[in-house]
């Protein structure tokens, strides 16, 4: 290869022990603050070309013809590709259902669907060429909601479906349906003193990761391709990419580049196949970088949802039953829709004990933008609705909303609607107690020593809309439950390769996994685990690539659990090898080699009594121990398609929030004053990172509560694909976020840890909305809450 | 695309005359977004950054002659006393980075109804100094806006400066957005008291095809204040008068439903902002009157 | 067109620049300085914040030609810039050739750590970096804030950084980092 800019090893020593439980600093921190960390959009290669994607302006249309001749004729253009140029019979991809065309064929099913590709010597050349591609479209009627999707004459998004859900869904425009029945709802309903029902709606949220979809594909001399990419799961990408290229997987060599956030939005492919196709066609390196406008079309979003709930309770505040129906809009392609349905249905009851339930969740195929994974998927939508119901019930019963929740809170031993027994700590009541016990923020923080108000502390902020007029404070609570890891019988394993050797007279552990570091701090934790298990200080994190086995996805709050588990497991095996070597070399010198429990600490083999037996350097004696092992958590089961019964989840994760908001009730503007969180994390491997995850997840929930929504027109067109009109919280919208971390070990998990990334995103949204309801007295059944909702306009 | 880099104002006028389709670029905060997102491909860009005088201002007897490219940050830092309404409006523009580059001249050139400076200019009273090789004309800001993102500049004209009346009384500016910073106006309102002429002027942003004054509201308030002798007495404005003023401001707007907000909300919010900002300015006026009397 | 300007204290030149290119593109794709980030290219995120003649601006909204003969400081030059500010000297930086050969190197964490500006150190120590894509822009903006205002209030920090979006951290640890850098510089005085 010529001059390139690509990822490299990161080595970190540690002054402290740097093991688990310490707030070790990120090994990539220095590279990230100096601007040297190589993100996928920073990849660079001599002679590289720029790829560009031509996208559909229609949400649903037939493609009559595509004429690329003028584009090809333009100087500086090296290739223009359409469906007809795909090299093999495999022309679709998909996470679970291969329904997504690499390039549109005969029909486009959503606004922004890729239709053609251009490679040129400058991005502007590529754009101008793309503008010269003539595509003849004939618009088709649009399916945009449940009624239009299931109407008698509804156009079918995917006629002739033969995927594994096709057989059990009631309509071909339903991707997947999961009912759950448990107990006797009719009998339980008869016992209820109060019954509360409601219809709720969640808008389409975007992951809005800051690093746009991007990467570099470099053709290899062997006919293969090297792909530098930002993704959440290298091997899942590889499984989808290689067949389309007609290459064996080993000829598609993938390396993880710096990932500028993900939050679910990089589970699906974006430009990966496109860059490879252009590179292989032109035999030149090809870089593709989406701009923000394109990024909104380049990845799936959070499923918008409509949710109908009914709950009953006895006068003394015990829940009797729950019925719900959850309709998720999956858009044009399946993406993660089946798993979203699984989560939404199985977690729809929330962290409460309700023995009698009737649940149904479905995901639709429509011509809306495809929706898939986003932090907390399925559970986020349900949590907004069931927590609204809890407040309604508490009000109906005249009970304190927190006490009412505590009265019905689940705990270890609770049976979920799926029949699964929760077999590790579930401190729901305790989390609520803790979050309620935190001191409240002072009133009227906008008041200053002088006469004028500090507008920065008021609703509207710098826009100077109030100096205190119309401002009312409200407080709200919420709690949520999220599954950790891939569920429903998925073989959710990870792989770690660990090499222990002496370099420059010092033992060094090299940890190599395919785990996508997307910012969560997995690389920090891997180094900590290696230090703890192998007693070394120097750890090198090898770039993640496909030269090592799959790590599974950086999603579902699973990586510290599963790849952390794999690193621990492999380190333990490496340690055993070290001890074997030690016994062989030094066993005859000291009886403890045979009799004592041996540990590796500070570069030495020691007994559990603390006696030093040998230096690691001497034990290894120039030899390297190098193992690559897989590790899996307890197996799960699929949910029964009729009853929803099954031990579907690995682990559950819980967080509770208290929101304090100030609402300008005249203008309908909201300032979140404080958003306190209490979460059980099992074991905080890195407390600093744990708090950072909780604060970040909390803020994304805040965004959904008060501002974030992709607005889709009735014609299924995206109306706000930019950061000018898709708003995410700024630092002036984000309050202080005090965090109370509880550590109750889960005995089934490595170090007792609990996956943490998603739970705080769940309860944040309903807590903020509950606080707005408390301030305004309005019902507020939809998020994001808009000024129009608060002012009746 | 050409990139024209005039080193002086004269060169800039000559270049604009020679390349009438050239798009002037100063802070780039509008033009570059359109170029980056491929929404616009002008034949030429006319860079105004090298012309130092455009970043200068002169405080005169009656007006401030504000160079077209004076960044918002400088207005906030240096012209708060002379142009309080514009300084408040400038503070709501984008982010610190945007305020370091964006300017009133750019806002006028883009003529977006959502431009933050327009309501403040309308309320204060301002004239646009439009110059070409043919000469200079002064355009009252009310007449400058001709449609959504359209203004009355001729193809060979550039904005040299804006002449804004110095404040002779309190001024306020409010804008509604769905975020507490870095947000485009859903709608905005500016008000300026002019005790010397015993008049009140207003400006409405983002609630009609162009920025507008709420003239009926102004006329109503002017006569209500006069009839009740409030300019002299410094008494509070009766709530019924403030309410009527607010209703007339709402009524002056001609908003649309769009992705940023509904027409109904815009009308409602304008009424609230009109009532509040009038209250703030009048309180400040009364306070000044009181302290003047005390002194 | 040809473009000549100063980046991180060194004269730089680029040829065949398309007139519609932004300063951000020139820095990232022509100068080998990808530290300034391309999150939105519409002035709404601050990830491309650089100092242009000392003023923090979004590099994505500066037309390349507007940088002619001007001085730019990027995150890559921030440590030197801060050091020279402290010493009262002038800035120097990476040569074009060096920049073009740039590659992130393994194992230089230790040496690089000694070259960090106080605000960079504070971001690492406070846990203000997650995915890190917003970090370069935030560092340039926060460094400039502390240059103007050595002990800002929380609301001052929030206002100064309100043009820099972060999607990972919820901003709490970014506030911590700025407070930490301010406190350390007070101690140092």
CATH number at C20 reads 3.10.20.30
Residue where a domain stops, chosen among C31, C65, C98? C98
CB–CB of A727/A558 below 8 Å? no
Spans of chain B below 70 pLDDT: 290-295
- Considering CB atoms only, which of B176, B178, B180 is closest to A732? B180
Which residue range forms the structural domain that includes residue C110? Answer: 104-188
* C-alpha span between A309 and A322 (Å, rounded): 7
**What percent of chain A clears pLDDT 70, i.e. is strictly above it?**
99
Angle at A210 between CA A204 and CA A215, to 5 degrees: 110
Q: For A457, which residue in chain B has the nearest alpha carbon? A: B180
Q: Is residue B193 part of a domain?
A: yes
Q: For A296, which residue in chain C has the nearest alpha carbon? A: C40
Q: Indicate the pLDDT class of residue C108, thresholds 50, 70 and 90.
A: very low
User: Domain total for chain C?
Assistant: 2
Hey, are the CB atoms on B180 and A668 less than 8 Å from each other? no
Q: For A448, which residue in chain C has the nearest alpha carbon? A: C155
CATH superfamily to which A42-140+217-259+266-290 belongs = Aldehyde oxidase/xanthine dehydrogenase, a/b hammerhead (3.90.1170.50)
SS3 annotation, A379-427? HHHHHHHHHHHHHHHHHHHCCCHHHHHHHHECCCCCECCCCCECCCCCC
Sheet holding A612-615, edge to edge: A598-601, A604-607, A612-615
User: What global pTM score does this model have?
Assistant: 0.96
Instruction: Please tell me if residue A5 touches chain C, with a CB cutoff of 8 Å.
Output: yes
CB–CB of A300/A265 below 8 Å? yes
Q: What is the DSSP secondary-structure string of A87-131?
A: -SS--EE-SSS--EESS--SEE-STT-EEEEEEESSHHHHHHHHH
Per DSSP, helices labelled H in A615-670 are 616-620
**Chain B residues with at least one Cβ partner in A under 8 Å:** 33, 36-38, 88, 91-92, 172-184, 186, 259-262, 264-265, 267-269, 272-273, 276, 279-280
- Considering CB atoms only, which of B1, B36, B95 is closest to C163? B95
CA atoms within 13 A on the CB side of A629: 19
CATH of A493-632, one of 3.30.365.10, 3.40.50.300, 1.10.357.10, 3.30.70.270: 3.30.365.10
Average pLDDT over residues A718-746: 98
Comparing CA positions, the residue from A168, A232, A793 lying closest to residue A517 is: A232
Q: Is residue B79 part of a domain?
A: no
CB–CB of C112/A34 below 8 Å? yes
CB–CB of A470/A671 below 8 Å? no
CB count within 10 Å of CB A93 equals: 22
Comparing CA positions, the residue from A171, A163, A168 lying closest to residue A147 is: A171
Strand partners, B137: B130
- Considering CB atoms only, which of C129, C174, C175 is closest to A33? C129
pLDDT tens profile C12-39:
999 999 999 999 999 999 999 999 999 9
C189 to chain A, closest Cα gap in Å: 24
- Considering CB atoms only, which of C19, C46, C62 is closest to B2? C19
Q: Reduced to 3 states, what is the DSSP secondary structure of residue B241?
A: helix
CB count within 10 Å of CB A421 equals: 11
Q: Pseudo-torsion of CA A775, A777, A778, A782, nearest 10°? A: 50
* C-alpha span between A750 and A231 (Å, rounded): 25
DSSP state of C63: B
Q: Where are the domains of chain A?
A: 42-140+217-259+266-290, 493-632
Note the Cα A292 to chain centre separation in Å: 19
* C-alpha span between A337 and A176 (Å, rounded): 7
C99 pLDDT more than 90: no
pLDDT tens profile A232-281:
999 999 999 999 999 999 999 999 999 999 999 999 999 999 999 999 99
Q: Is residue B144 part of a domain?
A: no
pLDDT at C109: 44
Average pLDDT over residues A68-92: 98
CB–CB of B95/C48 below 8 Å? no
Residue A787 CB partners (closer than 8 Å, separation 6+): A667, A668, A669, A793, B176, B178, B186, B261, B265, B269
* C-alpha span between A430 and A37 (Å, rounded): 41
Average pLDDT over residues A665-674: 98
Which residue range forms the structural domain that includes residue B235? Answer: 171-294
A414 pLDDT more than 50: yes
Average pLDDT over residues C94-111: 44
pLDDT tens profile A214-229:
999 999 999 999 999 9
B168 to chain C, closest Cα gap in Å: 29
Q: Which residues of B touch C55 (CB under 8 A)?
A: 100-101
* C-alpha span between A201 and B239 (Å, rounded): 39
DSSP state of A714: T
Q: Work out the burial of residue A121: count CB atoms within 10 Å of its CB; fewer than 13 is exposed, 13-18 middle, 19 or more buried.
A: middle
Q: For B91, which residue in chain C has the nearest alpha carbon? A: C159
pLDDT tens profile A742-788:
999 999 999 999 999 999 999 999 999 999 999 999 999 999 999 99
Q: Indicate the pLDDT class of residue A11, thresholds 50, 70 and 90.
A: confident
Q: Which residues of B touch C162 (CB under 8 A)?
A: 95-96, 181-182
Strand partners, B162: B66, B128
Instruction: Identify whether residues C86 and C114 lie together within a single domain.
Output: no
pLDDT at C89: 56
Q: What is the DSSP secondary-structure string of C147-158?
A: HH-SS--HHHHH
User: Domain total for chain B?
Assistant: 1
Strand partners, A311: A196, A322
Q: Residues 705..724 of A with a Cβ closer than 8 Å to C: which?
A: 722-724
Instruction: Please tell me if residue C147 touches chain A, with a CB cutoff of 8 Å.
Output: no
Residue where a domain stops, chosen among C77, C98, C119? C98
Read off φ and ψ for residue B76, nearest 5 degrees.
-65, -45
**For chain A, what is the mean pLDDT?**
97
Instruction: Please tell me if residue B19 touches chain C, with a CB cutoff of 8 Å.
Output: no
Which one of A463, A715, A719 would you mutate to disrupt binding with B, by most B Cβ within 10 Å of its Cβ?
A463
* C-alpha span between A343 and A644 (Å, rounded): 11
Instruction: Identify whether residues C63 and C39 lie together within a single domain.
Output: yes
B245 to chain C, closest Cα gap in Å: 33
- Considering CB atoms only, which of C38, C112, C134 is closest to A289? C38
DSSP state of A295: H
Q: Residues 506..545 of A with a Cβ closer than 8 Å to C: which?
A: 518-521, 540
Residue A393 CB partners (closer than 8 Å, separation 6+): A194, A196, A311, A313, A319, A404
As for the ipTM of the complex, it is 0.96
Q: Which residues of A touch C121 (CB under 8 A)?
A: 33
Q: For A462, which residue in chain C has the nearest alpha carbon? A: C159
Q: Which residues of A touch C169 (CB under 8 A)?
A: 692, 695-696, 699
A790 pLDDT more than 90: yes
Q: Residues 444..483 of A with a Cβ closer than 8 Å to C: which?
A: 454, 456-457, 462
pLDDT at B292: 64
Average pLDDT over residues A508-515: 98
Hey, are the CB atoms on A465 and B276 less than 8 Å from each other? yes
Instruction: Please tell me if residue B183 touches chain C, with a CB cutoff of 8 Å.
Output: no
Instruction: Please tell me if residue B95 touches chain C, with a CB cutoff of 8 Å.
Output: yes
Comparing CA positions, the residue from A131, A153, A154, A136 lying closest to residue A144 is: A154
Strands (DSSP E) along A574-650, which ranges? 598-601, 604-607, 612-615, 625-632
Hey, are the CB atoms on A731 and C116 less than 8 Å from each other? no
CATH number at B207 reads 3.30.390.50
Q: Indicate the pLDDT class of residue C104, thresholds 50, 70 and 90.
A: very low
Q: Indicate the pLDDT class of residue A637, thresholds 50, 70 and 90.
A: very high
* C-alpha span between A257 and A9 (Å, rounded): 12
CB–CB of A587/A593 below 8 Å? yes
Q: Is residue B78 part of a domain?
A: no
Hey, are the CB atoms on A700 and C167 less than 8 Å from each other? yes
Q: For C17, which residue in chain B has the nearest alpha carbon? A: B3
Comparing CA positions, the residue from A751, A247, A758 lying closest to residue A529 is: A751
Residue where a domain stops, chosen among C98, C132, C155? C98
Note the Cα A447 to chain centre separation in Å: 39
Q: Which residues of A touch B178 (CB under 8 A)?
A: 669, 706-707, 727, 786-787
Whether omega before A784 lies within 30 degrees of 0, making that bond cis, reads yes
What sign has the CA pseudo-torsion A581, A586, A592, A594? positive
CB count within 10 Å of CB A603 equals: 16
Taking one residue from A and the other from C, the number of pairs with CB-CB distance under 8 angstroms is: 220
Task: Give CA separation, A240 vs A175, A268, C110, in Å.
Answer: 20, 10, 39
Instruction: Identify whether residues C156 and C74 lie together within a single domain.
Output: no
A2 pLDDT more than 60: no
Hey, are the CB atoms on B35 and C20 less than 8 Å from each other? yes
Q: Reduced to 3 states, what is the DSSP secondary structure of residue A753?
A: coil
Average pLDDT over residues A421-428: 98
* C-alpha span between C145 and C152 (Å, rounded): 8
CATH number at C108 reads 1.10.150.120
Hey, are the CB atoms on B36 and C1 less than 8 Å from each other? no
C2 to chain A, closest Cα gap in Å: 16
Taking one residue from A and the other from B, the number of pairs with CB-CB distance under 8 angstroms is: 98
- Considering CB atoms only, which of C43, C49, C141 is closest to B94? C43
A319 to chain C, closest Cα gap in Å: 35
pLDDT tens profile A232-242:
999 999 999 99
The residue count of chain B comes to: 295
pLDDT at C189: 66
């Amino acid at each position: 290869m010529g001059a390139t800019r690509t990822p490299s090893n990161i080595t970190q020593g540690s002054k402290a022990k740097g093991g688990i439980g310490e707030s070790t600093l990120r090994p990539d921190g220095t590279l990230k603050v100096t601007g040297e960390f190589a993100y996928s959009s920073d990849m660079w290669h001599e002679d590289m070309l720029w790829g560009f994607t031509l996208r559909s302006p229609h949400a649903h249309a037939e493609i009559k013809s595509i004429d690329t001749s003028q584009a090809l004729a333009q100087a500086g253009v090296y290739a223009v590709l359409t469906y007809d140029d795909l090299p093999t019979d495999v022309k679709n991809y998909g996470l679970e259902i291969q329904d997504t065309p690499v390039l549109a064929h005969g029909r486009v099913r959503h606004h922004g669907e890729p239709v053609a590709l251009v490679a040129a010597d400058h991005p502007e050349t590529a754009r101008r060429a793309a503008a010269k591609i003539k595509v003849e479209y004939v618009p088709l009627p649009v399916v945009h909601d449940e009624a239009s999707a299931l109407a008698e004459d509804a156009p079918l998004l995917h006629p002739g479906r033969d995927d594994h859900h096709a057989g059990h869904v009631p309509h071909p425009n339903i991707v997947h349906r999961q009912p759950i029945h448990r107990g006797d709802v009719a009998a339980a309903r008869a016992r209820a003193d109060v019954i509360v029902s409601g219809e709720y709606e969640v808008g389409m949220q975007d992951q809005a990761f800051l690093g746009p979809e991007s990467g570099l594909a470099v053709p290899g001399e062997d006919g293969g391709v090297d792909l530098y990419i930002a993704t959440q799961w290298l091997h899942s990408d590889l499984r989808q990419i290689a067949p389309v290229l007609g290459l064996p997987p080993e000829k598609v060599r993938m390396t993880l580049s710096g990932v500028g956030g993900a939050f679910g939005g990089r589970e699906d492919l974006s430009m990966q196949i496109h860059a490879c196709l252009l590179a292989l066609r032109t035999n030149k390196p090809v870089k593709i970088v989406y701009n923000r406008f394109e990024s909104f079309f380049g990845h799936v979003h959070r499923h918008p949802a409509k949710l109908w709930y009914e709950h009953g309770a006895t006068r003394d505040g015990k829940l009797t039953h729950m019925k719900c129906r959850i309709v998720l809009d999956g858009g044009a392609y399946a993406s993660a829709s089946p798993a979203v349905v699984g989560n939404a249905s199985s977690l729809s009851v929330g962290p409460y004990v309700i023995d009698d339930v009737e649940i149904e969740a479905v995901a639709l195929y429509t011509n809306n933008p495809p929706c898939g994974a986003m932090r907390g998927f399925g559970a986020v939508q349900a949590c907004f609705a069931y927590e609204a119901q809890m407040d309604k019930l508490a009000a109906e019963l005249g009970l304190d909303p927190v006490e009412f929740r505590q009265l019905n809170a689940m705990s270890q031993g609770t049976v979920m609607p799926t029949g699964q027994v929760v077999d590790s700590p579930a401190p729901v009541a305790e989390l609520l107690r803790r979050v309620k016990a935190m001191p409240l923020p002072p009133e009227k923080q906008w008041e200053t020593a002088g006469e004028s108000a500090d507008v920065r502390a008021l609703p509207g902020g710098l826009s100077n809309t109030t100096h205190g007029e119309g401002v009312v404070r409200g407080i709200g609570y919420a709690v949520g439950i999220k599954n950790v890891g891939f569920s429903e019988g998925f073989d959710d394993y990870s792989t770690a390769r660990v090499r222990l050797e002496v370099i420059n007279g010092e033992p060094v552990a090299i940890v190599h996994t395919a785990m996508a570091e997307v910012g969560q701090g997995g690389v920090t934790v891997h180094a900590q685990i290696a230090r703890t298990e192998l007693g070394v200080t120097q750890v090198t994190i090898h770039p993640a690539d496909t030269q090592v086995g799959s790590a599974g996805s950086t999603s579902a709050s699973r990586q510290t659990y599963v790849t952390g588990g794999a690193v621990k497991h492999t380190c333990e095996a490496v340690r055993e090898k070290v001890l074997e070597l030690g016994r062989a070399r030094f066993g005859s010198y000291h009886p403890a080699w045979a009799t004592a429990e041996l540990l590796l600490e500070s570069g030495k083999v020691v007994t559990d009594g603390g006696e030093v037996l040998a230096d690691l350097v001497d034990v290894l004696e120039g030899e390297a121990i190098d193992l690559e092992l897989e590790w899996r958590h307890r197996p799960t089961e699929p949910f029964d398609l009729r009853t929803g019964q099954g031990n579907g989840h690995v682990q559950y994760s819980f967080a509770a929030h208290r929101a304090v908001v100030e609402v300008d009730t005249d203008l309908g503007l909201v300032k979140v004053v404080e958003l306190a969180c209490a979460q059980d994390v099992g074991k905080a491997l890195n407390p600093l990172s744990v708090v950072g995850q909780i604060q970040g997840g909390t803020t994304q929930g805040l965004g959904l509560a008060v501002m974030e929504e992709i607005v889709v027109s009735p014609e299924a067109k995206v109306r706000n694909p930019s950061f000018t009109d898709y708003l995410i919280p700024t630092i002036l919208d984000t309050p202080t976020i005090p965090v109370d971390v509880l550590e109750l070990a889960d005995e089934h998990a490595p170090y007792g840890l609990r996956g943490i990334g998603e739970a705080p995103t769940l309860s944040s949204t309903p807590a903020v909305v509950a606080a707005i309801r408390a301030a305004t007295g309005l019902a507020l059944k939809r998020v994001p809450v808009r000024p129009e909702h608060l002012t009746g306009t | 695309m050409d990139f024209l880099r005039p080193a002086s104002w004269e060169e800039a006028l000559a270049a604009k005359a020679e390349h009438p389709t050239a798009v002037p670029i100063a802070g780039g905060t509008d033009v570059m977004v359109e170029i980056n997102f491929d929404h616009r491909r002008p034949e030429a860009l006319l860079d105004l950054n090298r012309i130092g005088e455009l970043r200068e201002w002169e405080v005169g007897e009656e007006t401030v002659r504000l160079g077209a490219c004076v960044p918002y940050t400088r207005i906030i830092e240096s012209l708060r006393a002379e142009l309080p309404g514009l300084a408040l409006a400038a503070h709501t523009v984008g982010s610190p980075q945007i305020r370091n580059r964006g300017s009133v001249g750019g806002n006028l050139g883009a003529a977006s109804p959502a431009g933050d400076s327009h309501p403040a200019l309308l309320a204060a009273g301002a004239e646009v100094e439009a110059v070409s090789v043919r000469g200079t004309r002064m355009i009252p800001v009310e007449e400058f806006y001709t449609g959504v993102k359209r203004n009355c500049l001729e193809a060979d004209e550039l904005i040299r400066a804006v002449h804004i009346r110095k404040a002779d009384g309190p001024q306020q500016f409010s804008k509604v957005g769905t975020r507490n910073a870095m947000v485009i106006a859903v709608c905005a309102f500016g008000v300026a008291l002019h005790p010397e002429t015993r008049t009140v002027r207003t400006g409405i942003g983002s609630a009609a095809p162009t920025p507008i004054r709420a003239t009926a509201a102004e006329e109503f308030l002017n006569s209500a204040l006069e009839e009740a002798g409030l300019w002299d007495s410094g008494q509070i404005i009766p709530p019924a008068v403030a309410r009527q003023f607010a209703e007339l401001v709402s009524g002056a707007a001609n908003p649309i439903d769009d992705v940023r907000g509904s027409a109904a909300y815009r009308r409602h919010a304008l009424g609230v902002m009109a009532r509040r900002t009038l209250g703030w300015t009048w309180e400040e006026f009364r306070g000044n009157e009181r302290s003047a009397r005390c002194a | 067109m040809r473009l000549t300007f100063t980046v991180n204290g060194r004269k730089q030149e680029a040829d065949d620049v398309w007139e519609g290119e932004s300063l951000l593109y020139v820095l990232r794709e022509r100068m080998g300085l990808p530290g300034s980030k391309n999150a939105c290219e519409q002035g709404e995120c601050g990830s491309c914040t650089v100092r242009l003649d000392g003023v923090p601006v979004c590099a994505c909204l500066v037309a390349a030609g507007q940088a002619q003969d001007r001085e730019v400081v990027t995150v890559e030059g921030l440590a030197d810039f801060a050091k020279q500010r402290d010493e009262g000297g002038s800035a120097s930086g990476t040569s074009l050739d060096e920049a073009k050969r740039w590659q992130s190197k393994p194992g230089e964490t230790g040496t690089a750590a000694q070259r960090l500006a106080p605000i960079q150190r504070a971001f690492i120590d406070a846990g203000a970096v997650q995915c890190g894509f917003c970090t370069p822009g935030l560092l340039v903006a926060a460094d400039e804030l502390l240059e103007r205002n050595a002990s800002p209030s929380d609301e001052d920090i929030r206002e100064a950084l309100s043009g820099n979006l972060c999607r990972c951290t919820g901003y709490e640890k970014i506030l911590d980092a700025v407070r930490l850098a301010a406190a350390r510089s007070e101690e140092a005085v």
